[in-house]
């Protein structure tokens, strides 16, 4: 940009280029630019569309420094550093598309939000500055308290480089209803032509209509006066704003409205110059159509219309963000650009998604955030949005069913003296840390004094103790299996396992990793004793099992295989068991297959067909050593909750039963 600025700097003395067409732009807020430029607006139009800035622009991360009076690329903002998109942006792009390639286009842009036409009248400006509202004074000062003089000064400088071919005006909102407005505009126009020694027949005035907003425009009555302007100024041409979209204030155009209005300015000027208009390419938002079969997702917060899911598994999202320039939906690591309507509502539809649960985020300016219309779930090491793509009837095993007694999922806190002493829940001047766990009790737990076996069930890396009950629907799986007689009633305990924070490197081999290992002494010395004391449990290894998904499977191997005196049942779902040599692991626990098979009554492992963590090789090695392993590959699923729901459902019928 800097090289281009120097190339076109008017400080370089050269002959006037008759093929460099210059246009003067002035007015109030809609010429100043009230909409945030979007991605397509910020693409450089190239060397054929230039701006002579009317003020200095400091350098930013996205834009080189601009100096007043030196030509540069015409990329928004054109008016002042903190302004937005204007009709002049797409006016210039339209002319570049319409005119022969040897013709360049330049604009000089002076505009002030809210300024009356008197602010451009040399005879009125001194008094106008004195009585201007406080919020306008800084803008006036940017032009030396004389916007007309700044426009003329730069125009004279520009005449050393090219030829002034027209004047663009968008003004009138602040003079709505004033009968002498047209006469005042004529005074400004005539004075401008006189000061620059221009002929009106060679320099037409193009005046744009104000926002219509479907008849609700705040200043729409001014359009009658604008339409009548050619009766006062015979070289004036009016640019229609019909169907140009506007923002929520019904006063300013939105980005799409500025593009449309700017193209209309350009098309009109192209015709006046004797060329057939060619409209530049504009990325038009796709119409957001939601099929009739789409239903509100079960993970949507009640009362919201979106997210929705259709019968093909496509998800539909909507977000109100009028000030955003770009919004993205990131689901299953695939990003979808959202499109904006004229009211600032952003929408997107995904490709068909696999059935099951998916975390997702929305993103503005590189920052992820949770869709305010969805329930939140702890995953990806933080609270996240989530959406369920429903299965058919085959998924009924993890849904509540009519007539099935329901158990309870309790939230408990228990004291620990064996965990890390950095918890926010640590008591002052105490070595006790209070930890949190979720405990499922079966439907008949409250009805008698029976004691129950216990399954310790762990989630995966970056999730927490609520994952199995919220994302995994563990309680429904248990209720249904127990009601059908497929599983014995049992208590299920779920803890965070110290793996909520990200894995930060180090050894990841089973039995050697320190990630989550701080949980092992807590589980053995604090949690299990607490559960056995406060719940009616069968406090014996024969009635104690452990299972885990992903890194929870890693933890399960580490805990159970080094504490066979405390557990007799074992399962992993997509278990993150890396670098394990069955012949030497865990002090050779697998070497004596007969002894192992007597101690572990049932070992189960599952993984997804498209999983990036599979246990098939480990299963084969164990079987070759004589270890009894039951295993299953979940058809059509990956490293996801549907795989793990299936794994739990297949594991629990075998637990706490004689094999």
- Determine which one of 252, 473, 554, 639 is catalytic: 252
Count of beta carbons in the 10 Å neighbourhood of residue 658: 4
- Determine which one of 180, 249, 351, 507 is catalytic: 249
Tell me whether strands 327-331 and 163-170 are parallel, antiparallel or unpaired. Answer: unpaired
Distance CA 118, CA 147 (A): 11
CB of 58 closer than 8 Å to CB of 67: no
Distance CA 478, CA 398 (A): 8
Q: Please, what's the largest Cα pairwise distance for the chain? A: 106
Distance CA 556, CA 554 (A): 5
Please name which of 214, 5, 253 lies closest in space to residue 106, comparing C-alpha atoms. 5
Count of beta carbons in the 10 Å neighbourhood of residue 610: 16
3-state secondary structure string across 401-448: CCCCCCCEEEEEEEEECCCCCCCCCECCCCCCEEEEEEEEECCCHHHC
458 sits in which H/E element: strand 454-458
Q: Examine the residue annotation and report whether 249 is marked as an active-site residue of this protein.
A: yes
Kindly give the residue spans of alpha helices, DSSP state H, lying in 230-386.
255-272
DSSP string, 145-212: T-HHHHHHHHHHHHTTTSEEEEEEEE--GGGTT-TTHHHHHHHHHHHHHHHTT--GGGS-EEEE----
Assigned token pair, 162: 């090219």
Q: How much is the CA Rg of the chain, to the nearest whole Å?
A: 35
Which residues 6+ apart lie within 8 Å of 581 measured at CB? none
Distance CA 616, CA 202 (A): 81
Distance CA 112, CA 510 (A): 67
Assigned token pair, 504: 């930060």
- Determine which one of 29, 174, 318, 550 is catalytic: 29
CB-count burial class (<10 Å; 0-12, 13-18, 19+) for 145:
middle
The residues assigned a catalytic role are 29, 249, 252
């Amino acid at each position: 940009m800097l090289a281009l600025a120097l190339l076109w700097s008017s400080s370089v003395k050269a002959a006037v280029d008759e093929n460099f067409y210059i246009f003067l732009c002035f007015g109030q807020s809609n010429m100043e630019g009230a909409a945030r430029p979007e991605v397509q607006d910020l693409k450089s139009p190239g060397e054929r569309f230039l701006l002579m800035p009317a003020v200095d622009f400091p350098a930013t991360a996205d834009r080189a420094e601009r100096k007043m009076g030196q030509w540069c690329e015409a990329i928004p903002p054109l008016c002042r550093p903190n302004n937005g998109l204007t009709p002049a942006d797409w006016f210039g792009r339209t002319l570049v598309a319409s005119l022969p390639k040897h013709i360049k286009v330049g604009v000089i842009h002076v505009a002030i939000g809210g300024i009356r036409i008197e602010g451009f009248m040399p005879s009125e400006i001194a008094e106008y500055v004195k009585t201007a509202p406080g919020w306008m004074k800084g803008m006036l000062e940017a032009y030396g308290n004389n916007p007309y003089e700044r426009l003329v000064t730069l125009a004279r400088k520009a005449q050393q480089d090219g030829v002034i071919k027209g004047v663009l005006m968008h003004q009138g909102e602040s003079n709505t209803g004033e009968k002498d407005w047209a006469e005042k505009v004529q005074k400004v126009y005539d004075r401008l032509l006189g000061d620059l020694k221009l002929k009106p027949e060679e320099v037409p005035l193009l005046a744009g209509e104000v926002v219509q907003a479907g008849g609700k425009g705040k200043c729409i009555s001014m359009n009658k006066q604008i339409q009548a302007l050619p009766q006062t100024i015979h070289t004036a041409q009016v640019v229609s704003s019909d169907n140009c979209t506007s923002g929520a204030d019904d006063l300013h155009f939105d980005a799409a409205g500025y593009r449309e209005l700017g193209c209309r300015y350009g098309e009109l000027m192209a015709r006046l110059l004797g060329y057939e208009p060619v409209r530049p390419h504009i990325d038009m938002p796709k119409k957001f159509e939601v099929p009739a079969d789409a239903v509100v997702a079960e993970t949507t917060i009640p009362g919201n219309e979106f997210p929705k899911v259709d019968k093909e598994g496509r998800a539909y999202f909507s977000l109100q963000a009028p000030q955003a320039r770009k919004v993205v939906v990131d689901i299953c690591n695939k990003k979808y650009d959202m499109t904006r309507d004229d009211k600032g509502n952003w929408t997107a539809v995904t490709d068909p998604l696999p059935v099951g649960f998916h975390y997702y985020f929305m993103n503005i300016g590189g920052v992820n955030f949770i869709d305010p219309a969805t329930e939140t779930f702890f995953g990806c090491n933080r609270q996240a949005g989530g959406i369920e793509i429903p299965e058919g009837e085959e998924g009924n095993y993890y849904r509540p069913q009519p007539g099935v007694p329901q158990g309870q999922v309790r939230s408990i806190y228990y004291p620990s003296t064996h965990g890390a002493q950095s918890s926010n829940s640590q008591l002052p001047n105490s070595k006790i840390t209070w930890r949190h766990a979720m405990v499922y009790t079966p439907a008949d737990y409250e009805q008698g004094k029976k004691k129950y076996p216990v399954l310790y069930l762990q989630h995966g890396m970056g999730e927490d103790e609520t994952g199995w009950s919220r994302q995994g629907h563990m309680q429904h799986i248990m209720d249904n299996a127990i009601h059908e007689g497929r599983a014995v009633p049992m208590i299920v305990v779920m803890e965070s396992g110290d793996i909520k924070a990200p894995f930060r490197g180090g050894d990841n081999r089973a039995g050697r990793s320190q990630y989550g290992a701080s949980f092992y002494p807590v589980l053995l010395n604090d949690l299990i004793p607490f559960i056995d004391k406060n719940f009616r449990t069968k406090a014996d290894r024969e009635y104690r099992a452990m299972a885990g998904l992903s890194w929870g499977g890693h933890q399960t191997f580490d805990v159970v295989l080094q504490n066979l005196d405390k557990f007799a049942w074992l399962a992993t779902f997509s278990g993150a068991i890396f670098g394990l040599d069955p012949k030497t692991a865990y002090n050779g626990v697998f070497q004596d297959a007969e002894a192992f098979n007597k101690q572990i009554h049932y070992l189960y492992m599952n993984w997804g067909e498209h999983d990036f963590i599979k246990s098939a090789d480990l299963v084969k090695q164990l079987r070759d050593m004589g270890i009894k392993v039951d295993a299953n590959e979940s058809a059509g699923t990956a490293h996801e909750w549907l795989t793990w729901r299936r794994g739990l459902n297949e594991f629990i019928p075998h637990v706490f039963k004689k094999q």
